[in-house]
């Protein structure tokens, strides 16, 4: 078989699925510089506007001064440093669990956690719209994979009734492309009735939902009934990295079995130091103020909707139409890339609009006016 990469690239282009990297010439924020133009950025996951905040910049610099730029090794050799341990203790307190473990990314959390806990003879039951990292981790585990239609409780119940071995239900608190929430209380009841465990990815909920931004589990009072609480430091916390919050027994096992942790150099200690500062902001009065501002923007962008997440999609369906709408928005000064297959299902291409507490009211209003002119009002 030949390595005909050119025809593969050509097919992607013909299907309007070709992608290219876009370079920002400025810091991440509500206004960014791209190719000499200033654009209003409605595509970032920086929900609380912390990525370019003075507080996190200062904390990062302080972390470098105290602990240097690099960690030097993997966590189990000599790469675990004081900021890593302090951050994990803070995350466990934040999520009301016995312990927590940080990874280099949210993707690494999934790939390390799921195969370490389930394998051949076990069953993983996934929501159909679960993030790619959860799907890839399930495949890597060797467990039997069953998929239920998005948020379809009756199908989940039927799959639980026939599942074999250890059973792990996997879903998201807030879904990254649709912005809707899972029916968490009902899922918890089902998994408990059938003796299953639940892995809940709260990447897009933490910092945005619940008391002190502690996520959907906290908003519903279910923190002590979700065995595996996964999240990232790269959305509302404004940095990068991921974590799993769980029992001490689970975390100790992952330290010994999670390959994405064991065989990766530890994240820079300055990053962990800054993440600890980010967590302090998220749980403070300042965090509450930013959340209030964010939710005001969400209500304006999506009137009449539940408004619990900062993700406001405009479903276009056709890839070409989504690309054209994104291009017209770009001409008008808005950065909102089109989201296409395989990130979303074929025929469900969309504009994924995301709000930030750092946006100004006039920027929200300008976007709404532009969307109306393009016939894309909600």
Phi, psi of 352 (to 5 degrees): -105, 100
The beta strand positions in the chain, using DSSP E, are 31-34, 37-41, 99-103, 123-127, 144-148, 167-172, 197-201, 228-232, 242-246, 311-317, 334-335, 338-339, 349-354
Q: Which helix (H) or strand (E) holds 216?
A: helix 216-219
Active site residue 52: no
Active site residue 131: yes
Candidate list 88, 127, 178, 201, residue with the active-site label: 201
Active site residue 176: yes
Candidate list 71, 176, 309, 348, residue with the active-site label: 176
- Give the bridge partners for 299, in sequence order: none
Active site residue 150: no
Q: Are 300 and 193 in contact (CB under 8 A)?
A: no
In sequence order, what are the residues at sequence separation of 6 or more whose Cβ sits closer than 8 angstroms to the Cβ of residue 177? Answer: 129, 311, 313, 339, 343, 344, 350, 352
Sequence length of the chain is 378
- DSSP letter string, 52-87: T-HHHHHHHHHHHHHH-S---SBIIIII--HHHHHH
Candidate list 46, 88, 127, 172, residue with the active-site label: 172
In sequence order, what are the residues at sequence separation of 6 or more whose Cβ sits closer than 8 angstroms to the Cβ of residue 18? Answer: 9, 12
Candidate list 84, 95, 191, 235, residue with the active-site label: 235
The token pair at 73 is 């090794």
Active site residue 120: no
- Give the bridge partners for 55, in sequence order: none
CA distance 208 to 199: 19
Candidate list 84, 204, 297, 359, residue with the active-site label: 204
CA distance 210 to 165: 34
Active site residue 235: yes
Active site residue 224: no
C-alpha 14 chain-centroid distance: 30
Candidate list 84, 131, 191, 297, residue with the active-site label: 131
Candidate list 45, 53, 104, 309, residue with the active-site label: 45
- Annotated catalytic residues are 45, 131, 172, 176, 201, 204, 235
């Amino acid at each position: 078989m030949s390595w005909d990469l050119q025809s593969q690239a050509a097919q992607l282009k013909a299907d309007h699925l070709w992608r290219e990297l876009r370079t920002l010439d400025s810091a991440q924020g509500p206004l960014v510089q791209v190719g000499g133009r200033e654009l209003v950025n409605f595509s970032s996951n920086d929900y609380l506007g912390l990525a370019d905040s003075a507080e996190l910049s200062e904390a990062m610099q302080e972390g470098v001064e105290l602990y240097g730029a690099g960690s030097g090794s993997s966590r189990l050799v000599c790469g675990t440093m004081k900021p890593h341990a302090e951050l994990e203790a803070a995350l466990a307190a934040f999520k009301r669990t016995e312990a927590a473990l940080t990874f280099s990314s949210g993707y690494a959390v999934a790939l390390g956690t799921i195969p370490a806990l389930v394998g051949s003879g076990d069953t993983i039951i996934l929501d159909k719209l679960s993030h790619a990292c959860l799907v890839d981790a399930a495949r890597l585990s060797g467990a039997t994979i069953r998929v239920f239609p998005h948020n379809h409780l009756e199908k989940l119940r039927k799959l639980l009734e026939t599942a074999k071995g250890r059973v792990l239900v996997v879903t998201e608190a807030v879904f990254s492309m649709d912005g809707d929430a899972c029916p968490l209380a009902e899922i918890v009841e089902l998994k408990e009735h059938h003796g299953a465990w639940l892995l809940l990815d709260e990447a897009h909920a933490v910092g945005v939902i619940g008391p002190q931004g502690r996520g959907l589990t906290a908003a519903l009072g279910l923190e002590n009934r979700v065995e595996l609480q996964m999240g990232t430091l790269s959305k509302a916390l404004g940095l990068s990295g991921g974590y799993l919050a769980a029992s001490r027994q689970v975390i100790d096992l992952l330290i010994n079995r999670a390959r994405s942790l064991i065989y990766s150099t530890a994240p820079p200690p300055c990053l962990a130091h800054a993440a600890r500062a980010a967590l302090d902001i998220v749980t403070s009065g300042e965090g509450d103020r930013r959340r209030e501002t964010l939710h005001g923007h969400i209500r304006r962008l999506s009137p009449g909707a539940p408004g619990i997440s900062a993700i406001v999609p405009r479903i276009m369906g056709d890839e070409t139409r989504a690309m054209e709408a994104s291009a017209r928005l770009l001409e008008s000064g808005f950065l909102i890339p089109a989201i296409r297959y395989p990130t979303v299902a074929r025929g469900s291409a969309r504009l994924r609009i995301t709000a930030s507490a750092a946006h100004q009211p006039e920027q929200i209003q300008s976007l709404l006016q532009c969307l109306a002119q393009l016939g894309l009002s909600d």
